[in-house]
Amino acid sequence: MRILITGAAGFIGSHLCDRFFREGHEVIGLDNFITGTPENIAHLFGNDRFLFIKHDVTNFIYVPGPIDAVLHFASPASPVDYMKYPIQTLKVGALGTHKALGLAKAKGARFLLASTSEVYGDPLVNPQPESYWGNVNPIGPRGVYDEAKRFAEALTMAYHRYHGLETRIARIFNTYGPRMRLDDGRVIPNFIGQALRGEPLTVYGDGQQTRSFCYIDDMVEGIYRLLFSDEVEPVNLGNPNEMRIIELAQLINEMIGNKAGIVFKPSPPDDPKLRRPDITKAKRILGWEPKVSLEEGLRLTIEWFKSKISHG
Ligand code: NAD
Ligand code: UDP
């Protein structure tokens, strides 16, 4: 098959490129490098089953030849990134999704949207099932991301209902692993970077807020299965192993042997207090659930960040 991936130079996008490439498909990657880097896909360059196009997907996308599937992963994803690029985030979720859907329609391709647990906002229901409509502040600083993704889901369903497009929606929960940027501001790269430098870990608020972290290989498997499934409505993908941020900080300090401890910083506005996926649907429909434990995933991620730092 010929697969087009937007956001191909990013963290998840680059791992998807690897997976589809490994399965023998032809992969076309699109990215404008706003938060990604060519380094993430450099190993694929020069191969005749991989084509890269530097392009801002909020503009019309022209790609010659047939395409079987479009995976729309372009979007700043870390709170630090999307608050730095609020307009670009809204544009890529709205205009970028429109262009990517238009391309899929023109090519008769299947479309998969990278949506997010942020559509649930600061949830009043825990864990979050797909049937929960969420609790989002549209005008807060996180609204640029949450509302763009909610719009993207609505547009995707409209293309399905009104144009008969084959669409899939993955609601992705916190995912981590190699190729995240050490400075992307998300909690795992922040904590690992701080611990490796022997600095105290910056816990925002009282650290009692929870998240559930999924290792990248498990996420890629879930996305792969969802693309080839028949499910049109959103499917949660994530690891249901929920923990407090303070516990994550203690675990990372312990694993790295960092004696500098923890410092508390103010909580960012609208920081969700709870987040845990209900993955009953993914288990039933995709026969999927995460396999990599947090300790194992963190070990692999720490190794990767260490090698990055030692190689400059
Ligand atoms: P990332 O920042 O590493 O990757 C995003 C990529 O999209 C980057 O390479 C960036 O340069 C590219 N991009 C952004 N705007 C673009 C535009 N207008 N045109 C072309 N390329 C553009 O982030 P990630 O963690 O890999 O996230 C990928 C996708 O998965 C995003 O859509 C994100 O919302 C979604 N997601 C990720 C997580 C997570 O925990 N990592 C959770 C939920 C949803
Ligand atoms: N967080 C923290 N210290 C940091 C970075 C993040 O305590 O250095 C907290 C943040 O306030 C949130 C959680 O960790 O409660 C996860 O944050 P992240 O930015 O990774 O993603 P989010 O799940 O909020 O989108």
pLDDT tens digits for range 17-43: 999 999 999 999 999 999 999 999 999
Whether 33 lines ligand 1, by a CB cut-off of 6 Å, is: yes
Sorting pLDDT into bands at 50, 70 and 90, what band is 229? Answer: very high
Residue 311 reports pLDDT greater than 90: no
Pairing of strands 69-72, 2-6: parallel
Catalytic residue (choose from 82, 85, 120, 145): 145
Distance (angstroms) between ligand 2 centre and the Cα of 18 equals 28
Residues having CB closer than 6 A to ligand 2 are: 78-79, 174, 185-187, 190, 202-204, 209, 211, 245, 268, 271
Ligand 1 atom 5, closest CA: 10
Query: Which of 116, 181, 245 for mutating ligand 2's site (highest number of atoms within 8 Å of CB)?
Result: 245
> Which DSSP letter does residue 94 get?
I
Residue 205 reports pLDDT greater than 90: yes
From residue 128, give the alpha-carbon distance in Å to each of 134, 147, 176, 179, 275: 9, 18, 20, 28, 7
Q: Which residue, among 136, 150, 32, has the nearest Cα to 90 in the 3D structure?
A: 150
Please indicate whether residue 120 or residue 308 has the higher confidence score (pLDDT).
120
* Residue 176 annotated among the catalytic residues of the structure: no
Distance (angstroms) between ligand 2 centre and the Cα of 7 equals 22
pLDDT in tens, 137-176: 999 999 999 999 999 999 999 999 999 999 999 999 999 9
Q: What is the CATH number of domain 2-177+214-239+276-291?
A: 3.40.50.720
Residue 86 reports pLDDT greater than 70: yes
Place of tokens 């600095």: 199
Determine the 3-state secondary structure of 126 from DSSP.
Answer: coil
d(CA 150, CA 93): 9
From residue 294, give the alpha-carbon distance in Å to each of 64, 208, 216, 218: 42, 18, 11, 12
Whether 212 lines ligand 1, by a CB cut-off of 6 Å, is: no
Q: Which ligand is nearest to the CA of 204?
A: 2
Average pLDDT, the chain: 97
* Phi–psi pair at 49, nearest 5 degrees: -100, 10
Closest-lying ligand 2 atom to the alpha carbon of residue 79: 19
Residue 60 reports pLDDT greater than 80: yes
What end-to-end distance do the CA atoms of the chain give, in Å?
37
Averaged pLDDT for residues 131-141: 97
Distance (angstroms) between ligand 2 centre and the Cα of 298 equals 16
Distance (angstroms) between ligand 2 centre and the Cα of 168 equals 28
Q: What is the pLDDT of residue 310?
A: 80
Averaged pLDDT for residues 277-300: 98
Which alpha helices (DSSP H) does the chain contain, by range?
11-22, 79-84, 86-91, 97-107, 143-163, 187-196, 216-227, 245-256, 280-286, 294-310
CB 167 within 8 A of CB 156: yes
d(CA 160, CA 230): 13
Distance (angstroms) between ligand 2 centre and the Cα of 266 equals 11
Whether 224 lines ligand 1, by a CB cut-off of 6 Å, is: no
Q: What is the pLDDT of residue 309?
A: 84
Averaged pLDDT for residues 273-289: 98
Extents of the domains making up the chain: 2-177+214-239+276-291
Averaged pLDDT for residues 180-192: 96
Q: Which ligand is nearest to the CA of 267?
A: 2
Whether 36 lines ligand 1, by a CB cut-off of 6 Å, is: yes
Residue 312 reports pLDDT greater than 70: no
Residue 105 reports pLDDT greater than 80: yes
